[in-house]
Amino acid sequence: MLHLYHLKNSRSFRVVWLLEELKLHYPIDYQLHTIDRDSKTLLAPESLTEIHPMGKAPILLDDTLAVGEQSMAESAAIIEYLLTNYDTKMQFRPSEAKLWRDYVYWLHFAEGTLMPPLVMGLILRKSVKKSPWFVKPVAKKFTTAINHAVLAKNITKALAMIETTLDKQPWLAERFSAADIQMYLAVYGAKLANKITSNHPNIQAWLVRCEQRAAFVRAKELAGEPL
């Protein structure tokens, strides 16, 4: 039995989605443990450290493994583990050399390139809101400068690359794969931050294709909103 610890409204949604995709093709089962955020910090509760030292979701437990080796974290690592051990027919990872390279690239692009500036921008905006009134003018100037100098350019460049890729094919690695699952939350985060515009019709269409998949709909029913 697999056990997934999912934090509400978090990026661990994508592992729920992948598990639901796998269930449509293989006789696997898993138990979903949905965790509420700490009411004060709005982060994962401290109790998650009892399952994994980092105390962050997602956390996957595979009780077929030896005691002490069952717990694993990090979305990309969990995705790779699930595909290696349960996707025996290669339904969600291409085997062709070029497509595999594209798949691996986009699988890690999500957390390595697109999410960092989005998260940093969110943190900066929150820091301005929580700043004392006499500090806010300086905080706003600092945030605006960082955004113009670094964050906005990186986000714009990343979205342009995704848009160009999706102009040639419906999915990031040509056919649907776990790379699309991993990338969805990053792109959806960009949408919530109002970074997806009329200049990104291919991205908008791709988001709809993702959201219309039966496994995505089921994951949403089980785990709630992605973010």
Assign residue 67 the CATH number of its domain: 3.40.30.10
Q: Are residues 115 and 143 in the same domain?
A: yes
Residue 172: pLDDT band with limits 50, 70, 90: very high
Instruction: Give me the torsion for CA of 18, 24, 30, 35, rounded to 10°.
Output: 50
What is residue 149's predicted lDDT score, i.e. its pLDDT? 61
If one counts the domains in the chain, the total is 2
Do 66 and 140 reside in the same domain of the chain?
no
Whether residue 24 is found in the same domain as residue 132: no
Q: Closest Cα to residue 56, out of 14, 12, 112, 15?
A: 12
The answer on 135 and 55 residing in a single domain is no
pLDDT in tens, 80-138: 999 999 999 999 999 999 999 999 999 999 999 999 888 877 666 666 666 666 656 65
Could you tell me what percent of the chain has a pLDDT over 70? 87
User: Same structural domain for residues 33 and 117?
Assistant: no
Tokens of 172: 């990031």
**Residue-range definition of the domain harbouring residue 60:** 2-92+217-223
Contact 183, 176 (CB under 8 A): no
Gyration radius from the chain CA atoms: 19
pLDDT tens-digit map of 177-226? 999 999 999 999 999 999 999 999 999 999 999 999 999 999 999 999 99
Judgement on whether residues 156 and 124 belong to the same structural domain of the protein: yes
pLDDT at 144 (0 to 100): 64
For residues 60 and 116, membership in a common domain is answered with no
Tell whether 84 and 106 lie within a shared domain. Answer: no
Residues 121 and 188 in one domain: yes
- Cα 227 → chain centroid: 9
Asked whether the predicted pLDDT for residue 48 surpasses 70, the reply is yes
CATH code, domain with 167: 1.20.1050.10
The answer on 123 and 88 residing in a single domain is: no
The closest alpha carbon to 185, from 153, 219, 147, 161, belongs to: 219
Q: Which residues contact 142 (CB under 8 A, 6 or more apart)?
A: 124
Q: What does the pLDDT read at residue 41?
A: 74
Question: Do 142 and 171 fall within a single domain?
Answer: yes
Considering the domain architecture, whether residues 101 and 55 belong to the same structural domain is answered as no
